[in-house]
Structure 1
Amino acid sequence: MNAVVALESTVIAHGLPAPHNLDAAYRIEAAIRAEGARPCTIAILKGQVRLGLEPHELRYLATAEGVRKVSLRDLPVAVAQGCDGATTVAATLHLAWRAGISVMATGGIGGVHRSADGRPSMDISADLEALARIPAVVVCSGPKTILDLKATREQLETRGITTVGYRTHEMPAFYTATSGLPVDARCDTPEAVVALYQARLRLGLPGALVVTVPPPDRVAIPTAVLMPALEEALQEAERQGIAAEALTPFLLARLRERLGSRVLQANLALLEQNAIVAARIARALAMAALPLSPPASCAAITN
């Protein structure tokens, strides 16, 4: 049985503060191994694609300065210029599928960004393009809370990406279990997820099966607490003229300031939970002996 779970590395280099980033990386990989699957954290180190990182390489990503955030457009630049890069959901999904890995775990997916002035945003994450193109299983806690959730849900539907609620009928929104938006189907077991995935492949559909898992009850932040803090942050961003690429880190920083350790606790807990669910799905998929057709140029996993 070859049950492997791909993991992005942006959360290590850019998503979590030290020392929580390294602790999270170790805990996520350990949780996957405890479920009988193999973790495969993906990154670019000195221009080389790395499929599976050693402990010292995880430490390097968590502590080094100048690690580039690498999405799809950045992959050839990072490789050609010999950069260190932490891969986003989109880049990780692309590299994982090329290596024959069909299950990935992350925290939240990207989507349509909110604009500070409330106008429609043209800032759309490359994650949606990758999800529309690559036929993998992506386990997450829904779109990140700071996004335009309704517009992101509509984009998922338009691009033919099936969204599953894992033991829920409602799409979670990262820190919170509720978004007010429906999923396309509910699955209560890994085997049910695999059945849906098999059906997509048999039908020849491109794109991912996105499995959304609510954050654990003990750390989930109620919408009534989360959304007022987000609205305040958006209003502050408009007053300061903060927009485009600077808006997302600004909003995240303001949420951490207003809600304190609750944001970090929710982030760490949902990452570990998603990894566990992904490992169980990967095992069920391996047991189903589903024939896949990854490219012939599959790279070896190092750990």
Structure 2
Amino acid sequence: MVLVVSEEVREAIGARRPVVALESTIIAHGLPRPRNLEVALELEEAVRREGAVPATVAVLDGRPRVGLDKEELERVANEDIRKLGHRDLPLAMAAGVSGATTVSATAQLAALAGIRVFATGGLGGVHREWTVTQDESADLGLLARTRITVVCAGVKSILDVPATLQRLETLGVAVAGYGTHRFPGFYLADSGHPVDWTLDTPAQVAAVMRAQDALDAPESALIVANPVPEAEQLDPALHGRVLADALRACAERGVTGQAVTPFLLDYLVRHTDGASLHANLAAVRGNVRLAARIATAWARG
């Protein structure tokens, strides 16, 4: 099998112990060095404290890996490696290159390994001015055909949130707020849009996962939208002002395609004096802890 699953993760899956998949893009492309490695180790430790096994996902030397040791995490954090979506996986494998996995690639490889729960920051989605650019994240299509539970802080607020929610509905991807009737906006606890369903405990999430299996329905994901705590969110007024400036700067500089999201995220970090990064990390930490609790509830059967 081409997929390399660490011994710890393989044994946990075989014994039906809780496992949480973690993406590696935040390590390689989302944080400065050496903070990125510190956060990677911190997130894995947070999963362990909740009684679950962390399975960080990446591609190293053309081999997809689920579960990294410290040396492999250091490679992801310190080497200049590519960002890989699920469409890039066969190309990276054939070329023997290394890369950090995005939401779509992580979800695909985690599901292939038999992992059911995945924690991330915010999902990709439908981009603003979609009617002109037709720009939509590959996350959505992949989640429409992959049986995995994704704990996230909603979708990135730089995107078209209502269009993303509509697209998820069209694709048949289940979405539930965790402890909230409002859909979170990554940096913000409330994107301004409601959710149709609310789940309040890990056991309730696990019950939905079992119901998915019992229905023998199409292999779509369950999105658990877990808001960043209001005390740690980015100030909504600051967020609105800086995002508007970022969108104008993006248009003026002619930034298009895949370059838009990193441009906007970097603009937010620089023009909020790092407050957006603080909110990002607060959201990820909360998602990782919740994902471990959900994985534990799921493992109990």
Contact 1:175/1:267 (<8 A) preserved = yes
* Match in the other structure for 1:278: 291
Aligned with 1:15: secondary structure?
A: coil
- Alignment deviations for residues 64-89 of structure 1 (CA, whole Å, 9 cap, x no partner): 12x11111110001111110011111
| Cα distance in structure 2, aligned partners of 1:124 and 1:38 | 32
Matched, 1:64 2:76: no
TM-score, length basis structure 1? 0.91
What do residues 227-255 of structure 1 show as CA deviations (whole Å, max 9, x unaligned)? Answer: 22111111111122222122111111111
Mapped contact 2:175–2:224 kept (Cα < 8 A): yes
Please name the residue that 1:28 is paired with: 43
Q: Which residue of 2 aligns with 1:248?
A: 261
Which residue is 1:102 aligned to? 116
The count of aligned residue pairs is 285
Q: Structure 2 CA distance, aligned partners of 1:119 and 1:94?
A: 28
SS at match of 1:114: coil
Q: 1:157 aligns with which of 169, 175, 186?
A: 169
Aligned 8 A contact 2:178 2:225 in 1 = yes
Q: Does 1:14 align with 2:26?
A: no
1:121-175 Cα deviation digits (max 9, x unpaired)? 4111110011100111100001111111111111111111111111111110100
Give the Cα separation in 1 of the matches to 2:133 and 2:145: 22
* Root mean square deviation, CA, Å: 1.3
Name the residue aligned to 1:3. 18
| Contact 1:9 1:86 survives alignment (8 Å) | yes
**Which residue pairs with 2:270 in the alignment?**
257
Provide the C-alpha distance between the structure 2 equivalents of 1:213 and 1:20, rounded to a whole number of angstroms.
24
Check the 8 A contact 1:165/1:186 in 2, yes or no: yes
* Gaps in structure 1 of 5+ consecutive residues: 289-303
Q: Which has the higher contact order (CA 8 A, sep 6+)?
A: 1
**Which residue number in structure 1 is paired with residue 126 of structure 2?**
112
1:145 to 157, 162, 177: 157
Higher normalized strand content (fraction of residues): 2
Q: Are the counterparts in 1 of residues 188 and 230 from structure 2 also a CA contact under 8 Å?
A: no
Letter of the structure 2 residue corresponding to residue 235 of structure 1 = R
The corresponding residue for 2:4 is none
- Stretches of 4+ aligned residues off by more than 4 angstroms: none
Q: Does 1:217 align with 2:230?
A: yes
What percentage of residue pairs aligned between the two structures are identical? 48
Equivalent position SS for 1:113:
coil
The alpha-carbon deviation at position 19 of structure 1 amounts to 2.2
In the alignment, the residues of structure 1 paired with residue 33 and residue 184 of structure 2 have an alpha-carbon distance, to the nearest angstrom, of 26
In structure 2, the partner of 1:192 is 204
CA distance in 1, matches of 2:132, 2:200: 35
* Contact 2:23 2:58 (C-alpha < 8 Å) held by counterparts: yes
Inter-partner Cα distance in structure 1 for 2:131 and 2:138: 20
Q: Verify: 1:127 aligned to 2:139, yes or no.
A: yes
For residue 249 of structure 2, what is the amino acid of its counterpart? E
* Contact kept in structure 1, 2:104 and 2:143, CA below 8 Å: yes
Q: Deviations over 1:175-226 (max 9, x none)?
A: 0011121223111100011111222222222210000111123310133221
- SS of the equivalent of 1:39 reads strand
* 1:183 equivalenced with 2:220 (yes/no): no
TM-score by length of 2: 0.92
Secondary structure of the corresponding residue to residue 178 of structure 1 = strand
Q: What are the ranges of 5 or more consecutive residues in structure 2 without an aligned counterpart?
A: 1-15
User: Is the contact between residue 58 and residue 99 of structure 2 (CA under 8 Å) also seen in structure 1?
Assistant: yes
Alpha-carbon distance in structure 2 between the residues aligned to 1:204 and 1:20: 43
Measured after TM superposition, the shift of residue 119 of structure 1 is 5.0
Is contact 1:221–1:262 with CA below 8 Å preserved after alignment? yes
Contact 1:112 1:121 in 2 (8 A): no
What is the distance in 2 between the residues matched to 1:59 and 1:114? 35
The alpha-carbon deviation at position 15 of structure 1 amounts to: 1.5
Equivalent residue, structure 2, for 1:299: none
